[in-house]
Amino acid sequence: MAERRVTIGWAEGLHARPASVFVKAVAATGVPITITKPGGNPVNAGSMLGLLALGAQGGDEVVLASDAEGADEALDRLAALVQQGLDELPAAA
């Protein structure tokens, strides 16, 4: 299973607007992704309710994971989005 550990770059964490941006970015990858806080239970990263239930704050570490084909590229792009607190998914290289 591929995974990336990243620190949340949005000051407000994964709430409201950043969570919406992240959910759209996950959908755009076409790859099933989970997200979890270390020691917690993974949730579907494409679920707004799952993200909000995570309670992830700015500066918290999260783990993005997937075992699907194309996971490495998708996780790299999503990790950059989360770590940098971007407003959209970075362009593919």
**Catalytic residue numbers?**
15
Average pLDDT, integer, range 37-43: 94
Give the chain's domains with CATH numbers: 2-84 (3.30.1340.10)
Q: Provide, rounded to the nearest whole percent, the portion of the chain with pLDDT above 70.
A: 95
pLDDT of the residue at 92: 62
What number of CA atoms fall less than 13 Å from residue 81's CA on the CB side?
25
Is residue 52 over pLDDT 80? yes
Which regions of 21-82 does DSSP assign to beta strands (E)?
Answer: 34-36, 43-44, 61-66
d(C-alpha 46, C-alpha 28), whole Å: 10
- Amino acid (1-letter code) at residue 10: W
